[in-house]
Amino acid sequence: MNSVKYKFHPDEYELGENEKFYSDMEAKGWRLVKRERYLSKFVPAEPCQLRYRVEVSSPEFLGEDGLSEGQLTVFEDCGWEYVTSRSFLHIFRAPAGSGAPEFYSDPVQQAQTLKKVCRGMWISWAIILIALAIGILITFFSNEPWIDKPWERVLAVHFKRFVRIPTHYVMYWFWMLWAAYELIWSTWKINRTYRRLKRGIPLDHAPKGNRILHKLFHPGLLCLSALCLLLTIGQLISTQSEDLPAQPDGPYIMLCDVNWEGERTTFMGQSSGVTHAVSPLADYWETVEYIRTQTGGSVWLRQYVYRLRFPGMSGTLAQSLMDTPILSSWAAFSPVEAEGFDAVWAAGRELVAVKGDMVAYVMFLGANDDGLDDPFICAALQAAWES
Amino acid sequence: MDQGPMTEAAYYILLALLKPGHGYGMMQRIGELSGGRLVMGPGTLYGVLSRMCKERLIVFTGEEGRRKNYAITEAGRIALLAEFDRLKRMVADGSILEEAQR
């Protein structure tokens, strides 16, 4: 027989549910020894009928001292055995029919013990809303170089990242949904209990209903978030970054494809390389190439190439790439005629091209170069995508 | 303390503390005083005790092992008498009920 058992317990704001949960476990032969954040620890015991009761006493930061020694003594003198505490919950038990009096003969009096907990919930809401507001402000002002269309640019940056690592974003969405759900549920639950007690309705020590939706939904969101975290880690581990090969090993172009020959060199300590990532939404290649020409000039090429699993995303992705150029202004992009492509836009030394499920951003800087030779680049891209 | 009606729990705790004592002793004494009608829970008792300490109606006098002893203060005695008078007046006012039943 197992010597210890851990089990998820009801939320700390569900007073009656916790009392029933521990009483039921005792009846099944599992005695509570410790309550953690999400799990309770039980040891085997002779199944028996015990009454479990929770006393709410807020910790010091809410202006109370928690469970005092004197209070504990009175509870124990009345026949209640102190078991454990977690946060503002203090758990006691007494044999059923022992005559140990209920903690509160007056529900209104018990409501007073929840007052500070309810206030604490609203403080939590205020902290979250303030943090959210600060986050939004930081996001907004941290993009100071992009004076124009700041929100569009923030969204564009995140859309590009979303295409590359969607599970990372989904993980956050599930996590935020879980956090919001927990907070809303807790606020509703504790305020409902408080209002009922205040109206003189005694606490239900054995509430009915198995709350199956809550039991599935609450941990389910957290599990989905954890699953997405694992997928994100898996994707990051499988992402390959290596030196740029002599010949392209993916649907991207190299300087030799546009007739620039020279010796590979470095720029600000960075050498020519290619990164290949596979995400649930796209295969992604990012390359950077630096060469020194025979005349001593430097030429470099940077590109992002996406092969989308959902071609319908290509328009949004192309717009995101144009909204976040490296060199140009977002407004500088204008359509370019290019045969064989769905659409091509160019701005100075930058170009965005779309063809079916393929989307590319190319930036080219050449010695004594006034711009990008668009048809030349397009032809090279087309050849790379068809090969 | 505001002079509104006192709760039943507060009234009986002050009554019990006419003889200083600890929490459990108070609960037993309250049971005796009310003829077993009022069974005060430990949660109720401690909630009222801490509130009355803040309002200086009672005072902590020392410890007896793990138990804390309390005694009623002069302010508590005045408040108790005021409540007793109020209750007496209410009972007197209600005497018309007995007349009506005759």
Phi first, then psi, for residue B34 (nearest 5°) are -95, 5
Identify the top-confidence range among A112-116, A167-171, A336-340, B47-51: A167-171
Q: Which of A65, A109, A112, A116 to mutate to test the interface with B (most CBs of B within 10 A)?
A: A109
Task: Assess B54–A contact: CB distance below 8 Å, yes or no.
Answer: no
Task: Tell me which chain B residues have a C-beta less than 8 angstroms from the C-beta of A73.
Answer: 22-24, 65-68
SS3 state at A352? strand
**What is the distance in angstroms between the Cα of A46 and the nearest Cα belonging to chain B?**
28
Is some CB atom of chain A closer than 8 A to the CB atom of B46?
yes
Q: Which pLDDT value is given to residue A142?
A: 63
Per-residue pLDDT for A356 more than 60? yes
Average per-residue pLDDT for chain A: 87
pLDDT tens digits, A299-330: 889 999 999 999 999 999 999 999 888 887 76
User: What's the confidence (pLDDT) of residue A62?
Assistant: 41
Nearest CA in chain A to B43: A103
Enumerate residues 6+ apart whose C-beta is below 8 A from A362: A253, A301, A302, A303, A350, A351, A352, A353, A372, A377, A381
Task: Count other Cβ atoms within 10 Å, centred on residue A342.
Answer: 15
* Range among A68-82, A131-145, A357-371 rated most confident: A68-82
pTM (two decimals): 0.73
SS3 B60: strand
Q: Which of A91-95, A101-105, A143-147, B32-36 has the lowest mean pLDDT?
A: A143-147
- pLDDT tens digits, one per residue of A23-68: 999 999 999 999 998 899 999 999 999 999 999 986 544 445 567 7
**pLDDT for residue A39:** 93
Residue A252 has pLDDT above 90, yes or no: yes
Asked if pLDDT for residue B19 goes beyond 70, the answer is: yes
Complex confidence, ipTM = 0.81
- Range of weakest confidence among A205-219, A270-284, B20-34: A205-219
Selected residue with higher pLDDT from A216 and A197: A197
Chain B neighbors of A102, CB-CB under 8 A: 41
Percent of all residues in chain B with a pLDDT value above 90, rounded to a whole number:
60
CB-based contacts of A150, cutoff 8 Å, min separation 6: A140, A143
Is B43 in the A-facing interface, judged by CB distances under 8 Å? yes
Determine, for residues B46 and A71 on separate chains, whether the beta-carbon distance falls below 8 Å: yes
Helix pair B23-33, B8-16: axis angle to 10 deg: 110
In the prediction, which pLDDT does A263 show?
Answer: 86
Tokens encoding A217: 């939904």
A100 to chain B nearest CA, in Å?
Answer: 9
Instruction: For tokens 């989905």, name the residue.
Output: A224
- Count CB-CB contacts under 10 A for residue A375: 13
pLDDT at A1: 56
pLDDT score of A291 more than 70? yes
Mean pLDDT of the B61-88 span: 92
- CB hemisphere CA count around A44 (13 angstroms): 3
As a whole number of angstroms, the distance between CA B80 and CA B10 comes to 9
The pLDDT of residue B89: 95
Q: Cβ–Cβ of A73/B27 closer than 8 Å?
A: no
pLDDT computed for residue A316 by the predictor? 95
DSSP letters, A205-260, are SS-----HHHHHHHHHHHHHHHHHHHHHHHHHHH-EEEEPPSS-SSS---GGGGT-
